[in-house]
């Protein structure tokens, strides 16, 4: 997993509440277990007409937001069914962080494990950032996870809270497997001791 330390990029304004996971990545695209290739279908029903052509009014179909790395939304982002494909699709598109007043619990827990940073800020602050984002490419927003601040284009720093473990894992690029592999030596030593003391468990006594 790619570490998340600092990020400065274009932010896409999406002032919509209750954006659910089926809007983020519709169920018909959940057949794959690969984390790549889903970005083209991110917000599929909102981005495309039935014939596959783009809907010009949707923010991610507009410049500079085609290259957005941050998404700013309203309350309860990521509600609906549980699917890791939702953060996968956002990340594959290029979005590394979502800022909103609140998130659905499962989405908020899934996201950091997949490299996507969910940031909770008050609605009024999100609306200010949405106004900043609406200015386009010249209004780039920065996120410093180590310092736990979002930096507006005018230089104003806005602090945010993040779980200490989540912060550690994202700064170091560790998903669940990565956490386990940190203890690879200890696991190997335990398995060797157990095999020596209880060979019947591993079949070595046969």
**Residue 200 located in a structural domain:** no
The tens digit of pLDDT for each residue in 72-126 reads: 999 999 999 888 899 999 999 999 999 999 999 999 999 999 999 999 999 999 9
CA angle 107, 108, 109 (to 5 degrees): 90
pTM beyond 0.75, yes or no:
yes
How large is the greatest C-alpha to C-alpha distance in the chain, in angstroms? 72
Integer CA distances (angstroms), 52 to 38, 139, 195, in order: 15, 31, 58
The tens digit of pLDDT for each residue in 145-192 reads: 999 999 999 999 999 999 999 999 999 988 665 555 555 565 666 666
Count of domains for the chain: 1
**Residue 84 located in a structural domain:** yes
**Residue 33 located in a structural domain:** yes
Helix axes 85-93, 105-113, angle to 10 degrees: 50
Pairing relationship of beta strands 141-144 and 157-159 according to DSSP bridges: unpaired
Mean confidence (pLDDT) of the chain: 90
Q: Which two tokens stand for residue 74?
A: 């309203």
Query: Residue 66 sits in a domain of what CATH number?
Result: 3.20.19.10
Q: Which domain holds residue 129?
A: 6-174
**Residue 113 located in a structural domain:** yes
């Amino acid at each position: 997993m790619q570490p998340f330390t600092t990020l400065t990029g274009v932010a896409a304004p999406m002032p919509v509440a209750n954006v659910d996971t089926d809007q983020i990545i519709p169920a018909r695209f959940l057949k794959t277990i690969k984390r790549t290739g889903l970005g083209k279908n991110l917000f599929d029903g909102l981005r495309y007409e039935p014939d596959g052509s783009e809907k010009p009014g949707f923010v991610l179909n507009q410049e500079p937001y085609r290259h957005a790395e941050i998404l700013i939304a309203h309350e309860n982002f990521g509600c609906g069914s549980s699917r890791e494909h939702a953060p996968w699709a956002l990340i594959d598109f290029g979005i590394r962080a979502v800022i909103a007043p609140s998130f659905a619990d499962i989405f908020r827990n899934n996201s950091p494990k997949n490299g996507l940073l969910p940031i909770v800020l008050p609605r009024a602050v999100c609306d200010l950032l949405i106004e900043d984002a609406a200015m386009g490419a010249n209004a780039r927003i920065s996120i410093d996870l180590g310092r736990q601040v979002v930096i507006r284009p005018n230089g104003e720093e806005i602090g945010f809270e993040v779980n200490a473990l989540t912060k550690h894992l994202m700064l170091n690029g560790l998903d669940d497997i990565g956490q386990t592999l940190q203890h690879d030596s200890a696991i190997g030593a335990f398995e060797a001791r157990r095999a020596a003391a209880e060979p019947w468990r591993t079949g070595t006594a046969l």
